[in-house]
Structure 1
């Protein structure tokens, strides 16, 4: 029947009201955004008059979700970085040397003395003094290999070992390199995401591109250099025993040691044990603090295991210096005055408050497993983003007015009903985008413009079917009912195929393509809802009120 039951009418219009309420905050974007930012800060425990005023700028009982603006609309930083996975290969081989040395030294009566030879970073070369022990040395070192855990490398060893005379050459196997590269990229993605999220940026785009590259887009920042400074530090923190100091940059530190420059005093170098006592990976927390002189510093706390190890070391080495090393530079080299049992400490230096905060962020988020190379960097100004928004508004308004005029001229009163549903449709799209926290990009605006054009397709099919039914001398009520029934299959088929396309674009595409797919997919859902339910509800209410004998479509 044409009449729609009261419960269905209530559900339809309740859905419309909720959708428009969710979309409403986007009409007051600046106020709501300031309110949301202030509320985030207040929830951390901070509060002042400015924050309270910003928080009061939008009623708390109203929805406050916003459509996030993408890089091309808001402005911000665009970076393409490459992860130097070769660094991880070299680090693994460097750490593998003590194992090789120990296993060979255990059978010194067979293999003789063991020394490390100079070699490229991609290889580890070890020389034994007894030629007759070559076969045994090869067997022992191969026994240190571990199976690769990935599906593609199952059954393969993680190392390749060859013997040339009395020199063992150890390299990573191809299967282990692939597995290690995959882990490195995944870890880098997660650490980059944590670092950027820590500084409060909105909806950054961080995704893998190719085998070793990562795309980073951060809306709302003033310069790409801000992100480079945040990401350019690997933040590899270690606590190493100090063996001595020197002013000679070319002095050999000796086997098992490293030479690290002082971060503040030029020309000063420290001789450190290569193997650290604890590392930044053992940190449980790091945050901005101030030293006894009121200068910015970074307070840190180790996890339980590292705290015990650190406490034991300080107890056994009271009066000895130890170095806090960040990215191969000594940022502090204090003397151990007493036992430090709690696993807590403070890093001091000539920090500004901002530098100390950023260092705390880096330490909390963890060290990058490998150095990043910035291949492409650019800053998109907010003026360019505002131009895109203005152009998008004009496109939406022109498309909307053209559709409204066409429908009113073509279908009269029924066209006006469709126009009302079209306006509701656009509001529902923004309501859905807001509630899921989607990011709107310039291609996303194109998706909305396309949706506006497509939104009336279903109504056109329905109205043409009603015209056909009216020609068979059926009554107005029956003609309207049959028009909707017979148009249903065509509407569903057309929109399902388009929706499948949107899903494929979202799944396979990235960045702007994904943004276009999101708005297109949401637009299809809201278009079908408004065409089959909202427009029909309006016609039903009108028909029940006026009871016309004839209708013009």
Structure 2
């Protein structure tokens, strides 16, 4: 039995990769989660607003009262807070994009799969100011407690999350302070034993529990007449923090899911028809080599969808267009390689040398073409947020999927195709029924045996 060669090992690794990708993209009737150590991901493709339907909110950020030198930082701060809020809202594929034109600053918030506009507005656009207050001993009427600031505020908050009382099952909000907040909270609880400690949100009294003991670990619970939903909303607002600048809702729009279903079905049909036509052309014109290129396209699709799921990438209709376009560019690479291989075969070059020479000589053209496309993708994605370039989330989605497809296409075209050709064309295999040799390269009457 022959020892495994380098090409055989590489082919084995490719098969393992494709098997893993097939497992990830396998359709499932029930939601499935992949968990490896601390990594956890739902095995489903995240769809954008145009495919899933949902809510789009457009906010104007009021920066008139902020010095011009500090406006960019304030604007970035507003975006960061909004992103935290929509993430805590539970919409991982939500998008928060910015737009600036002169002195006009706007935020575009897209929440796929969310249709309760009032709830979205209440959670995302509201400024939550949390502070803890102690009893004012100098108040004239001791029977009606008045409260004064304790110095402990929401800025000392590390995390807030929904919890449930073990005895009553009522919803609560568990909060955890940072190191500074923990020290303040310990001092406050030590100095106010058996006295109420009031918790105010936006200057409204939420609850005033009595301090039973000194709390040393910086953990506390906000209790009251909470439902699960109201406790979740409060936790979201506390985690988000206060907005650095006021925002005004300019426009709200609800997109129906029926538009998304139509777009997805049309895109799938177009993609399938395109793949079939490409497969027919490649196999009819290049024979077995064309069939190998079709296999590489299937590998390309599996790897791409796996990356979309694991990152995850929010897929929009322009993103699907970028994905389909990158398939065509992957085929272009295979055609360049096969045409160069045809030239080598026409010159009567040995098969092994012809393969290596074809990939080497075709690489310069493949590299240059893909670099030019990547430059365009960089401009369309506009990672530096330059004002004179595009800032649309849909266009960025197109640029992202196209650029990812280019890199994956290079891997499938250069690594997978070359490995398959090296293994199945340049090696002989022994089977139980005897020794066989696969056909050599043949292009329209040009043959090298």
TM-score by length of 2: 0.76
Match of 1:377 among 242, 249, 252: 252
SS at match of 1:456: helix
Match of 2:118 among 218, 225, 238: 225
Shift of residue 17 of structure 1? 3.2
Count of matched residue positions in the alignment of Structure 1 and Structure 2: 408
**Distance verdict in 2 for CA 1:354–1:527, change over 3 Å:** closer
The reply to whether residue 189 of structure 1 matches residue 79 of structure 2 is: yes
Partner of 1:36: 33
The reply to whether residue 83 of structure 1 matches residue 61 of structure 2 is: yes
Partner of 1:307: 185
- Contact kept in structure 2, 1:291 and 1:348, CA below 8 Å: no
- Pairing 1:454-533 to 2, within 5 Å after superposition: 454-474=329-349, 479-508=354-383, 510=391, 511-533=393-415
Partner of 1:200: 90
CA RMSD of aligned residues (A): 3.8
**Distance verdict in 2 for CA 1:512–1:16, change over 3 Å:** farther
Shift of residue 474 of structure 1? 4.5
**Deviation readout 1:137-178 (Å, 9 max, x if unpaired):** xxxxxxxxxxxxxxxxxxxxxxxxxxxxxxxxxxxxxxx623
Match of 2:232 among 343, 357, 377: 357
- Pairing 1:434-449 to 2, within 5 Å after superposition: 434-449=309-324
Shift of residue 291 of structure 1? 11
Shift of residue 423 of structure 1? 1.9
**Distance verdict in 2 for CA 1:272–1:490, change over 3 Å:** same
Shift of residue 64 of structure 1? 6.4
SS at match of 1:28: coil
Partner of 2:268: 393
Partner of 1:8: 7
**Deviation readout 1:422-473 (Å, 9 max, x if unpaired):** 2222222223333432222211110111122222112222222233334445
- Contact kept in structure 1, 2:51 and 2:263, CA below 8 Å: yes
Gap runs ≥5 in structure 1: 44-59, 90-175, 244-269
- Contact kept in structure 2, 1:314 and 1:340, CA below 8 Å: no
Partner of 1:402: 277
Q: Which of these two proteins has the greater Rg computed from alpha carbons? A: 1
Shift of residue 7 of structure 1? 0.9
CA distance in 1, matches of 2:197, 2:166: 19
- Contact kept in structure 1, 2:282 and 2:294, CA below 8 Å: yes
Shift of residue 412 of structure 1? 2.7
- Contact kept in structure 1, 2:150 and 2:188, CA below 8 Å: no
CA distance in 2, matches of 1:416, 1:517: 29
**Distance verdict in 2 for CA 1:337–1:460, change over 3 Å:** closer
CA distance in 2, matches of 1:196, 1:350: 24
- Contact kept in structure 2, 1:277 and 1:310, CA below 8 Å: no
SS at match of 1:368: coil
**Deviation readout 1:500-545 (Å, 9 max, x if unpaired):** 3323433445522222222212222232233333333333313534
The reply to whether residue 71 of structure 1 matches residue 70 of structure 2 is: no
- Contact kept in structure 2, 1:22 and 1:65, CA below 8 Å: no
SS at match of 1:79: strand
Partner of 2:130: 237
SS at match of 2:32: helix
SS at match of 1:544: coil
- Contact kept in structure 2, 1:65 and 1:437, CA below 8 Å: no
- Pairing 1:30-179 to 2, within 5 Å after superposition: 30-31=29-30, 34-36=31-33, 65-85=43-63, 89=65, 177-179=67-69
**Distance verdict in 2 for CA 1:402–1:272, change over 3 Å:** same
**Distance verdict in 2 for CA 1:435–1:279, change over 3 Å:** closer
CA distance in 2, matches of 1:178, 1:23: 52
- Contact kept in structure 2, 1:475 and 1:550, CA below 8 Å: no
CA distance in 2, matches of 1:547, 1:23: 28
